[in-house]
Structure 1
């Protein structure tokens, strides 16, 4: 039986980036201004594969996608190397703290791989330095650089990665065709005061429930990174419902970066308004401990609530689809322990309908007041 170690917690994580951990030089800014890109990053794929073949990884299909031909190809090529010392070390780290997955994969862009040698990046220094309440000072890829290089060489990772290029290109083209990133980006920039310079999506067919996002601000340039599963087309869903499902996975990563900025302005009011956590979260549900105060609880409600506002506009006129979207969002959030999602969504929609010309930032005072009266 698979260990559903992260099932509740893994629906959404965000890490906070310190400005000194990246170095956005002028050339980088010029190349990326106004652009969104999708990438199956080589070093990230190497690290995900290494983590996936640990005993921990093999027993956690909520963290690693274990359906499909690609996973079988990975196992066929790499499982024979699962007893290598670096894999055993990664396994022990994951057993102590599953967030090590993010500290490895979230720092993958700090290196490129050339002739089985990891070459340091001049742009990314230590982007994933904090997740929830856990902070690191040293890049684990740097710590285990020699061992990771040895694994890449011994397992002929580069040959495998090159042989899968057609598959990776299809993943990227599916994102570009079906993710509607530009539509989401435009909507959020129109409806919030926050502005973002560039987006990058890192994806892999091995990513399942553990998705995360990070924001990087340096040298007057703001880049958003998202680490997400591949585009999904689930059986039993209509084409529009699949579109909405894939949109939600991305949107609820993107809008963290818009929702949180006005929340900071009202942090003390939020902590006061939602001080009785048991009214807002089922504290017995695993994962809710990562939202210890009113500020973080509100942000999580707002992240999914704003997706509902987006859906109400984008899918306007399709009452059936909108009902499906509302029901699914409410059910997912309640399952995660956010027990007042339905009421929160209804109040947010009411405020939006009364103030259609206002930025969503401007709805916060009334919404916070409503929260305080619950």
Structure 2
């Protein structure tokens, strides 16, 4: 049967929906495309015997496509999240294992009634346990998670947990990805001394380091009396949530974004830790006709400074929140213009220094999400605070993040926004901004 499928795959050129498949390569080169937009040229000869690909649910069920021999194999998660594609070249077979996250939330009527129309700002218990473990690893085991290591709370963490700095959990951390450990935290709760699955969330990353290290995390929590520490600091977590809500005004941002974009959400869930390193992310979950926008962001204490006015601190953590949450509005519109965006960015080098955003789609979304904050600030801040925020994000984007043409992009979007017809939304400005990119290739 395997050889019969090989013949079919080679000669039909049809797309197949894969659960577990074999494909025969005529040459070593093939292409892997994930989530429709992200292409990777691969070579069978340099491929590991088993290549693992984790595909996270960001707003829809992930998928992958393998293009080979003028044919295409479409890999979609169906009943099984784990799917294998076996590639054969001559007599050798190698495997790509796709771990696909599907249906990551289960919203029942009780949850919907409790959260509809609300912004929830939280530091969940298992999530904070994981942040503490990584902060201790940075301090005592020379890891590089870049956890926030200033302030009274961090000092409390060291005082309480340093006697347990040689716990076996720390020997596993060299192999643990930050996101797979920390961001899956809200998908778990404590049941006594046991870490149990949440009744609502199944996970926030396809790769789940908590499941693989649950026994060690439970043991560390029990021996260090973590749950007592967490209870003693609940007041501080609540205080940070109140500061965030007062300073960032997330409900105002929510309403403003939905006045300009077609996306609609019934709930905002915001997770942060006082120890967070600034690794933000957002995603959209949809279940039972209930859509929720979920984000991991920096806590307000990360922006505390004796040398800055409170209004400046608030602006900075508002920007941090805004430029994460607006991805859930900006990205779906960018999806509609993906071919135009790719054509406009002929060469990314003049636009971006290189790094984690080496795709036209990703670069465009970073430019757009940050620039839209300027539009929001213009309408909600005083003239003085708006001028400061505009200058601040332009310097930050150009000098620190390496998005070299952001200042010009920002000024053009502001100009178009000010002069737009009354009925036009930000979404109507996409074609003009893409055209501006195309016309500013050489300068």
Q: TM-score category by the smaller chain?
A: 0.7 to 0.9
Higher relative contact order (CA 8 A, sep 6+): 1
SS of the residue 2:349 aligns to: helix
Judge conservation of contact 2:271–2:295 (CA < 8 Å) in 1: yes
Higher strand share: 2
Judge conservation of contact 1:57–1:63 (CA < 8 Å) in 2: no
Q: What do residues 92-143 of structure 1 show as CA deviations (whole Å, max 9, x unaligned)?
A: 125xxxxx111111111221112111121232112222xxxxxx3xx22111
Normalised to the residue count of structure 1, the TM-score between the two structures is: 0.85
Match of 2:47 in 1: none
Judge conservation of contact 1:111–1:120 (CA < 8 Å) in 2: yes
Match of 1:338 in 2: 403
Judge conservation of contact 1:57–1:64 (CA < 8 Å) in 2: no
- The equivalent position to 2:222 in structure 1, one of 144, 147, 153, is 153
Judge conservation of contact 1:228–1:250 (CA < 8 Å) in 2: yes
Match of 2:88 in 1: none
Match of 1:350 in 2: 415
> Is it true that 1:271 corresponds to 2:342 in the alignment?
yes
Separation of aligned partners in 2, 1:61 and 1:88: 14
Label 1:101 to 1:299 Cα distance change in 2 as closer, same or farther (>3 A): same
Separation of aligned partners in 2, 1:221 and 1:301: 30
- The 5-angstrom pairing of residues 79-228 of structure 1 reads 79-90=162-173, 92-94=174-176, 100-129=177-206, 136=207, 139-228=208-297
SS of the residue 2:272 aligns to: strand
Normalised to the residue count of structure 2, the TM-score between the two structures is: 0.73
> Is it true that 1:362 corresponds to 2:433 in the alignment?
no
Separation of aligned partners in 1, 2:115 and 2:368: 29
SS of the residue 2:297 aligns to: strand
Size of the aligned set, in residue pairs, is 340
Shift of 1:276: 1.1
Match of 2:352 in 1: 281
Shift of 1:265: 0.3
Match of 1:133 in 2: none
Match of 1:326 in 2: 390
Q: What do residues 257-288 of structure 1 show as CA deviations (whole Å, max 9, x unaligned)?
A: 111111000001101111210121123xxxx3
Shift of 1:41: 0.7
Shift of 1:199: 0.6
- The equivalent position to 1:31 in structure 2, one of 110, 114, 117, is 114
Judge conservation of contact 1:193–1:359 (CA < 8 Å) in 2: no
SS of the residue 2:396 aligns to: helix
Shift of 1:30: 2.4
Structure (1 or 2) with the larger CA radius of gyration: 2
SS of the residue 1:237 aligns to: coil
Separation of aligned partners in 2, 1:187 and 1:58: 44
- The equivalent position to 1:315 in structure 2, one of 381, 384, 391, is 381
Q: What do residues 38-79 of structure 1 show as CA deviations (whole Å, max 9, x unaligned)?
A: 111111011111111114786578831111111111111112
| Structure 1 residue ranges without an equivalent (≥5) | 1-13, 95-99, 130-135
Match of 2:95 in 1: none
Separation of aligned partners in 2, 1:111 and 1:239: 35
Higher helix share: 1
- The equivalent position to 1:237 in structure 2, one of 308, 312, 325, is 308
RMSD: 2.0
Separation of aligned partners in 2, 1:174 and 1:365: 38
Separation of aligned partners in 2, 1:34 and 1:207: 27
Separation of aligned partners in 1, 2:316 and 2:125: 27
Q: What do residues 190-238 of structure 1 show as CA deviations (whole Å, max 9, x unaligned)?
A: 1212111111111221113222222222332221222223223433333
Judge conservation of contact 1:251–1:307 (CA < 8 Å) in 2: yes
Separation of aligned partners in 2, 1:200 and 1:88: 33
Separation of aligned partners in 1, 2:141 and 2:116: 39
